[in-house]
Chains A and B, each alone.
Chain A
Amino acid sequence: MPDTSKKKMIIGWFSFTCCEDSTILLTEMLNDHFDEWKALVEFRYFKALKTDNKLEGLDVAFIEGAISSPTQEAEVKKIRENAKYVIAVGACANTGLPSSSRNEFVDKDVTDKIQWYLDHFDYSEKVKKLAEVITVDEKVEGCPMSPKAFTEMLTKYLKISGAI
């Protein structure tokens, strides 16, 4: 039984440019951990699961995906301002790849159609891994993330935040 005298850890889960495989994996992990985690964690921002999302006062922000645009850079900076700790989740957040494949394009690869999108939306010149935009405190690697590594990281921050 969770200790109800302890404060829940407040987390946000965020996705940027990626296939959201770590989000999907997390929804699979909820099959076995929903009741346990719900007792210990307040999911204050989790767009895949709720409409009433708030950024303020996060203990931990989990961020998956690479950063493709100035708009996304501004968003992750805002998340950083609101979170005590930021954890980069999955390959795209930690390395940029494979979402940053276009960084390797040479001129002939940038067809008119690609150029049309680059011109009509606010794409950055290069796709960036998360640590190129904000300070990242921890990494959970894998494509998708390793469930074991995620669980260990969650447990570590549940202790740090005083939830367990």
Chain B
Amino acid sequence: MHSGNITIDNITKIEGTAGLEVVVDSGKVQSLKFLIKDYRRFYTQAVKGKPFIAAPSFLSRICGTCSVAHLFASIEAIEKSQNIQITDQTKLLRRLAYDGLMIRDHALHLYFFVLPDVLGIDSILDIGDDEADIGHILLHDSFDIKRLGSEVTDVTIGAAIHAPYPTVGGFLKNPDPAKFPPLISKLEKIREQVIRAIQTFYNWKAELIRNSDYMCLRNEGSFDFIDGMIVNSTGLKVSEEEFHSFLKSVVIPYSQAEGYVFSEVFEDYLVGSLARINFNKDQLNQRTRKDISKYLDVFPSNNIYHNNLAQAVEILHCVDDAIEILHTLKITDEKPIRKPPVAGRGVGVVEAPRGILYHMVQTDDKGIIVDYDVIVPTAQNQINIENDLKKYFDDNLEKEKETLRLEAEKIIRAYDPCMSCATNFLKLDWKVL
């Protein structure tokens, strides 16, 4: 393609609405815009003036697919603002629920959105009825895996979407331990199907490599999506409370979401599964590491398509982690820990399926929210996605326009972006591109 425009109004098989505009002239990319198009809902403003106890459930409505991540980040921020120390049982139940979230959410992305790219078809709806066909086998694997991920969260926190049981200080209702043994059996049985997914994404030879920086949580004790220090590939390591100062937000005038760069070097970076496995593969569940060691040799990787392999690896880790928890967890009838409200500030940083998620709350002494802030993964990945696309177009302009369009969608999809999450927040200290 020597000259012309490529415009994608609606990138498909992602969560939310995004587009792409590329202008090519005289054999060069003149401009490239990755546009996040979901309209903002301004929830961080809407939550101000409300009692903190209502915030987590409200803010879980930021995102349908990773609502549990927003729920837990919000609860953690509020608990820290109120100096509430949660019990070991609460920590384990949250970890278990999080395993269920990751299993379902990653499987949705890998099979429903990306698998058609692997198979060279438009949609899972195009997969036929031949039970011996690999597409058919993988699709039906996906139903089993997603269903089981949802079942883990159903048993633990009441639902996979906008879960009703988690609250500040613990849980409104504790799970029924009689439901654990059947879950363990199903998790054991699903491992073979998950390993088939890992093989599938390992064998997929798609590649886009660009020097990138990465950032994620790292807990020196275990592979952890909820607790840890924030580390990045420039060697920095900061606490959750310092995360905000670590970044610089950037206004992108054509996008409904601001982007982020590292505050010191103004460089783009990537968050999500690829970052986590690049940094933390040594901490994956022992059984996971033993059974898929061949596939883990790929990491650390700068190939963005290995984000999908990393997601599949995380599914197996979460299956194995959930099995361990369910074998050892003894449920006692705990009530949520509550204290009289105090004026305070708290930060909750978790690894959402798509990467680091930050919630900050400030309350007055009556427990009313006076300030709230959120930074989501897709907003952080936005500049990295755009720069990857620029590299791809610069390197491949000799190809047909339709090929370029399809490959661009694949690259965006590999990140598993979520536009619903990306467009809700307001940041200070903007830098206009």
Contact = CB atoms under 8 A, between A and B. Distances in A.
B103 to A, nearest CB: 12
A156 B143 CA distance: 25
Nearest to A28: B150
A83 to B, nearest CB: 18
B256 A143 contact: no
A34 B128 CA distance: 12
Contacts of B58: 98
A25 interface: yes
Interface stretch (B35-43, B201-209, B302-310, B320-328): B35-43
Contact of B38 (A17, A23, A109): A17
Interface stretch (B8-16, B21-29, B267-275): B8-16
A20 B64 contact: yes
Given A27-B112, A143-B61, A144-B161, A49 B45 contact: no
B125 A19 contact: no
Interface in B34-77: 38-43, 45-46, 48, 58, 61-65, 67
Contacts of B147: 28, 31-32
Given A21-B64, A105-B45, A72 B161 contact: no
Contacts of A121: 39, 256
Contact of B67 (A19, A31, A101): A19
A42 to B, nearest CB: 9
Interface string B133-158: 00000010011101100100000000
A2 to B, nearest CB: 12
Nearest to B146: A31
Contacts of B104: 28
Nearest to B129: A35
Contact of A20 (B65, B122, B139, B251): B65
B301 interface: no
B426 A25 contact: no
Contacts of A23: 15, 64
Contact of A30 (B40, B41, B143, B251): B143
B160 interface: yes
B146 A28 contact: yes
Nearest to B409: A51
Given A111-B426, A121-B256, A52 B61 contact: no
Given A24-B65, A51-B409, A102-B46, A32 B143 contact: yes
A51 B12 contact: yes
A106 to B, nearest CB: 10
A52 to B, nearest CB: 5
Contacts of B124: 49
A21 B46 contact: no
Nearest to B421: A19
A141 B117 CA distance: 34
B122 A98 contact: no
Interface in A9-59: 15, 17-25, 27-28, 30-32, 34-35, 38, 43, 46-53
Contacts of A27: 108, 112, 146
A94 interface: no
Given A43-B125, A49-B125, A51-B13, A19 B42 contact: no
B426 A21 contact: no
Contacts of A30: 143
A24 to B, nearest CB: 4
A1 interface: no
Interface in B241-265: 251, 253, 256
Interface string B158-180: 00111000000000000000000
B123 interface: yes
B426 A114 contact: yes
A148 interface: no
A91 to B, nearest CB: 9
B125 A144 contact: no
Most buried by A among B104, B144, B161, B251: B161
A117 B64 contact: no
Contacts of A25: 64, 161
Contacts of A53: 12
Interface string B215-235: 000000000000000000000
12 contacts: A19-B62, A19-B64, A21-B64, A21-B162, A30-B143, A34-B143, A46-B125, A48-B112, A98-B58, A101-B42, A101-B46, A144-B162
A-B interface, 4 closest residue pairs, ranked by CB to CB distance from nearest: A21-B64, A50-B123, A101-B46, A68-B39
Interface of A: 15, 17-25, 27-28, 30-32, 34-35, 38, 43, 46-53, 68-69, 72, 98-99, 101-102, 104-105, 109, 111, 113-114, 116-117, 120-121, 123, 143-144
Given A47-B10, A104-B46, A114-B45, 6 more contacts: A17-B38, A19-B62, A28-B150, A31-B147, A48-B14, A48-B113
